[in-house]
Amino acid sequence: MSKTQEKIAYPFWYGGAASMVACLVTHPLDLAKVRLQTASKPGQGLASMVYQIITKEGFFKIYSGLTASLLRQATYSTARFGIYEFLKESYTEKYKHAPATHILLPMSMLAGALGGLVGNPSDVVNIRMQNDSSLPIDQRRNYRNAFDGIYRIVKEESVGTLFRGLTPNLVRGVLMTASQVVTYDIAKTLLVDNLQLDPAKKSTHFSASLLAGLVATTVCSPADVVKTRIMNAKGSSENAVSILTKAVKNEGVGFMFRGWLPSFIRLGPHTIVTFLALEQLRKYKIGIF
């Protein structure tokens, strides 16, 4: 890479845009994952959940809550990717070399926490909309779209409800960003330096992002399950500790990895498509004039 290329300041929104593209591809899998995580009894698989949604609710129901998913990526992912890249570029510019892993980790953790904070309201609406059709008719919220959901939550409940589950969401944001983007950067570097793969080829991006998706799924699964249950709960009497305690008592510790396979099947492709799209945005310098 030339010095001229190194100095290119890529737009802040690249990560969010790439994640929104990935969201369009993987939303049905994300919907199935949420349904599995909120199910009262374990045992159902990803394929059977998708089949059940299509046969009982209709084909297009596999895209329930899509507007909220897109809004979540537009807020959460834009913030975490943008802040992470900004911190990396600032460090490189100041010290004239790329940051090492022990520097990248705290950068990614800060970016993930801020992303989790910014994206929490859309995440609450996202989970509620995805799980709505599985509830009894009298308990359904029937949000028309993400913005209607946010408006009704503020009107019918409180602004604080938009930040329900913030603690596990911050934890998940930290774990996701640290495991996903740092693993991708490290894996890409190793593939290029040790295996002499071409850093510009899609096969290199695919391999690095696949490893990143595997690591991110495993690291984030416990926080993701707890976060999903808190955000989907009715009322505000239960907090993260009480929900966690009750779940461990009734279902065992294994509940924290409920839906790991569908999470990986969803997060793997999501991570791959995100980084492939991100690299293409960088390659063609979209939005840079």
Instruction: Write the CA distances from 180 to 56, 61, 164, 170, integer angstroms.
Output: 35, 29, 24, 15
Confidence bin at 237 (pLDDT 50/70/90): low
In this prediction, residue 2 carries a pLDDT of 42
Instruction: Report the range out of 164-168, 230-234, 241-245 with the highest average pLDDT.
Output: 164-168
User: How far is residue 83 from each of residues 10, 46, 75, 173, 253, measured CA to CA in Å?
Assistant: 12, 34, 12, 13, 34
Quickly state the pLDDT bin for 1 (edges 50, 70, 90).
very low
Name the nearest CA neighbour of 174 among 110, 103, 223, 230.
Answer: 110
238: pLDDT confidence band, cut at 50, 70 and 90? low
pLDDT tens for each residue of 112-141: 999 999 999 999 999 999 889 888 999 999
Domains and CATH numbers, the chain: 3-284 (1.50.40.10)
Q: Would you place residue 174 in the very low, low, confident or very high pLDDT band (cuts 50, 70, 90)?
A: very high
Provide the pLDDT for residue 43.
65
Res 6 pLDDT > 60: no
One-letter amino acid at 249 equals K
pLDDT digit string, tens, across residues 62-97: 998 899 999 999 999 999 999 999 999 999 999 999
Average pLDDT on 152-176 reads 93
Q: Is 56 exposed, middle or buried (0-12, 13-18, 19+ CB in 10 A)?
A: exposed
pLDDT band at 251 (very low <50, low <70, confident <90, very high): confident
Q: Residue 11 is encoded by which pair of tokens? A: 């737009």
Question: Whole-prediction pTM value?
Answer: 0.85
